[in-house]
Structure 1
Amino acid sequence: MCVFATGRMYGSLIAQGLLKGLHMYFVAFLLRDLIICGSNIEPSKFATASHPGVSIQPNQALCRKVVEMAVSRSTLVSVKWLKNMIASKTANHRILDASWHLPNTGRNAKAEYAESHIPGAVFFDIEECADKNTSVPHQIPSADSFGSYVGSLGINNETYVTVYDNNPKFGLFSAQRVWWMLRLFGHQPSKISILEGGLPKWLSEGGEVTDKVSDIQPQNYKAVFNPSLVKNYEDIEKNITTAEFMLVDARPDGRFKGIMPEPRDDTKPGCIPNSKNIPFFAVLNEEDRTLKSPEELKALFKEAGIDVEKHFVSSCGTGISACLLALAAHVCGNDSVSVYDGAWTEWYHRAPAQLKHNVPED
């Protein structure tokens, strides 16, 4: 039964001394697993700081923290959970292989999908589902274009989507970009999950793979753009003066400091003025490629001088790993994080020299 798959969260509650009123926690865990197993109960039905809905009365305050933890963690699903979903042939469930690789790796994610993927998965091409009228790679498309693309993958507005990627080192490298795009274009957050550890963890736990491409029945998808989740060049330029939000860069610190090359030959390393740096891989557990716990993530952000419970904007090279910081904030209960889509690549090619820090000289 799904409800018993809550050991890690339960242990966290024990450590925090929150074991009073056990029946209330059982209810919270049950609600969490109903959500994660694709029921019609949505996280928005629960009132927390990040999920406003019906009001929680004072005598229910004890349950607030566990509900918030449960809702945020429901985005991340295990190999066992996905195996069960596949075995049960759950209706209107779509698995997306969202693998993507940096241009300097020489890898072809689409070709790799054709050779080996989780049974039933379809390939989400991050480069294809993008604005073709800009020189910056894989920028977000229009709402109509996004709707047409995901509809062609057999997804409608009620589809439960599980996303993964195949990065062998990190296990979570690009899937979060598709998670973010789905949210950006109005898909219900309760209907989007990410496979923790990605394809590497799937394989390590005995998951099967195939080269068979599933038949797809195109669906109608109505995309509704949410502008609060994305920032553009002008927003970032203005913020240098107004300081309305914190800008957090997810690139490795060597690229941020200008001492390590960018993966694109036409772009030098460096950083945007007043930005802070949390390398994307810092939010992952090295041993199993899963996302760190909310407590560990909050400590990580605090050490970097960032209040993870407040609005901030994440950036990176071209908007992929920035979405991992948005995911980390989501797990901590903050759904207000925006992504600077053009990121450092756009900034480097558009900003005047005085607004590009740490850029090495020729």
Structure 2
Amino acid sequence: MPARYMHPEAIADTSWLADHLQDPALRVFDCTTYLLYETGTGRPYSIGSGRPDYEAAHIPGAAFLDLQGELSDRSSPFNFTMPAPDDLAARLAAKGIGDGHRVVLYSRKTMQWATRVWWMLRAIGFDDAAVLDGGFDRWQAEGRPTESGTRDYPPARLTARPRPGLFVGKEDVRAAIGDTGTCTINALAPDLHSGANPRYGRPGRIPGSVNVPVASVIDPAAMTFRPAEEVAATFAAVGADRAKRIVLYCGGGIAATLDAFLLHQLGHSDIAVYDASMNEWAKDASLPMERDEPS
């Protein structure tokens, strides 16, 4: 049977969104963040807010979500750390997401910021959210209307119904090393997976992990998800189709959510994202690393 996306309600098409912008129960959010890669600073990147671009032009009616500034545990030593479920629910409710709402999330240049917020919502039990396929890039390329300035939704009531296990820590990841029933996937670019690029500190990858870069599951021209059959084949090529459990990581738990979102779409049920990812793993000398031997 051909592979298919089993949760099409979680992928919003630009035409559908254009037709439903006036729906009073709809909440649309720009989730854009930028990673500004630096050299000689001792850190892998700095964080740039997408708010200025949002204020310059956004989908009509959309509000803005600042992932690091508003939706992350700022007491954590790592960027983008998932807050406690009740805490996150309260923060999202203050932004206007509530029980009974339909939420559409989008970002710019890459959909991984939207999938990160989608995965966070799923982790606290909110299932009526969708990722805009192609994001703002596709919306703009199609010549659809935009507006400038800012928008805010009135506060709402959001009930947290936590799903434990959608985010995991380093001990869970360490325990998965050598487990034949678990497929550990690195969503970073090949040069980071191989160890050729030491961006996060110690170069390399979690031992035994395989590589499915997010760029491999996205159509580079349209900025949309590749067809289900192509994505299924990409994951099957690294053995994910045979795994009972899949653990995903990247630099800071962002790109990994895009792979996780598509694995969920393909029907996998036991999927976890390592929240701190290489921001933590590469800096902890007690944790094992492997890398390709230089040729």
TM above 0.5, yes or no, is yes
Greater fraction helix: 1
Q: Matched residue of 1:300: which SS?
A: helix
Q: Deviation digits for residues 258-307 of structure 1, max 9, x if unmatched? A: 11242x6xx34310111111111101112211111221111111122321
Match of 1:194, SS state, is: strand
Q: Paired residue for 1:256, among 193, 204, 208?
A: 193
Q: Does 1:185 align with 2:124?
A: yes
| 1:72 matched residue in structure 2 | 7
- Structure 1 residues 268 and 209: CA distance shift in structure 2, 3 A: farther
Matched, 1:117 2:58: yes
CA 1:139–1:215: 2 relative to 1, 3 Å: closer
Conserved in 1, the CA contact under 8 Å of 2:32 and 2:113? yes
Confirm or deny that 1:205 pairs with 2:142. yes
Q: Hey, what does 1:126 align to over in structure 2?
A: 67
Please report how far the alpha carbon of residue 193 of structure 1 lies from its aligned counterpart in structure 2 after TM superposition.
0.9
Residue 336 (structure 1) aligned to one of 270, 277, 295? 270
Matched, 1:166 2:108: yes
**Contact persistence 1:301–1:308 (CA under 8 A):** no
Q: Deviations over 1:137-180 (max 9, x none)?
A: 1110011220111011111122110000011xx4x231110110
Gaps of at least 5 residues in structure 1 are 1-12, 17-64
Give 1 or 2 for the bigger CA radius of gyration: 1
Match of 1:93 in 2: 26
Paired with 2:189 and 2:62, the residues of 1 have a C-alpha distance of 30
Q: How does 1:277-316 map to 2 (within 5 A)?
A: 277-307=211-241, 310-316=244-250
Please tell me the root mean square deviation across aligned C-alpha atoms, in Å.
2.3
Aligned residue in 1 for 2:254:
320
CA contact (8 A) 2:205 2:291 kept: yes
SS in 2 for 1:101: strand
Higher relative contact order (CA 8 A, sep 6+): 2
Is 1:274 the equivalent of 2:208? yes
CA contact (8 A) 1:259 1:360 kept: no
Percent same amino acid among aligned pairs?
27
More displaced stretch, 124-133 vs 107-116: 107-116
TM superposition shift of 1:71: 4.2
Q: Which amino acid in the other structure matches residue 97 of structure 1?
A: D
Contact 1:309-1:333 within 8 A present in 2 as well: no
228, 241, 253: which one aligns with 2:165: 228
Distance 1:228 1:173, change over 3 A: closer
Matching residue within 131, 139, 149 for 1:194: 131
Structure 2: unaligned runs, 5 residues or longer: 38-44
**3-state DSSP of counterpart to 2:241:** coil
Alignment partner, residue 83 of structure 1:
18
2:202–2:283 CA contact under 8 A, matched in 1: no
